[in-house]
Amino acid sequence: MLYDMYQRRAVRDRQYGAALQNAREHRPTLFAPFTLDEGIESQVYITPLNSCLPWHKPPTDLAPGTAGAPLPPNVHYPHVPTLVLSGGP
């Protein structure tokens, strides 16, 4: 994450900008064969990087990285087949 989700939006915006500037200075081939700015302008690479900026701060009573309850506990899920995929490096 290029910014701390527990910070206010203005702070996250500054952190995000600083992370991009750091990449311009130290990782100019990050989106090779495109320049870093071409990658950012394309929105192909950058959208996943900044998509969480407008989100609200997570509740502070949860430990960092702990998911909150997305739905009320009495929600009933439909009986349909579900494919769940997960991946990592």
DSSP letter for each residue of 19-88: HHHHHHHH-TTTTTTS-HHHHHHHSTTTHHHHTTTTSPPPPTTSPTT----SS-TT--------------
Query: Could you say which DSSP state residue 3 is in?
Result: S
Give the total number of structural domains in the chain: 1
Residue span of the structural domain in which 40 resides: 9-50
Question: Would 81 be classed as within a structural domain?
Answer: no
pTM of this prediction exceeds 0.75: no
pLDDT band at residue 84, thresholds of 50, 70 and 90? confident
Question: Would 59 be classed as within a structural domain?
Answer: no
Question: Would 17 be classed as within a structural domain?
Answer: yes
Question: Would 46 be classed as within a structural domain?
Answer: yes
pLDDT tens by residue, 2-40:
888 888 899 999 999 999 999 999 998 988 898 888 888
Q: Which whole number is the average pLDDT over 43-49?
A: 67
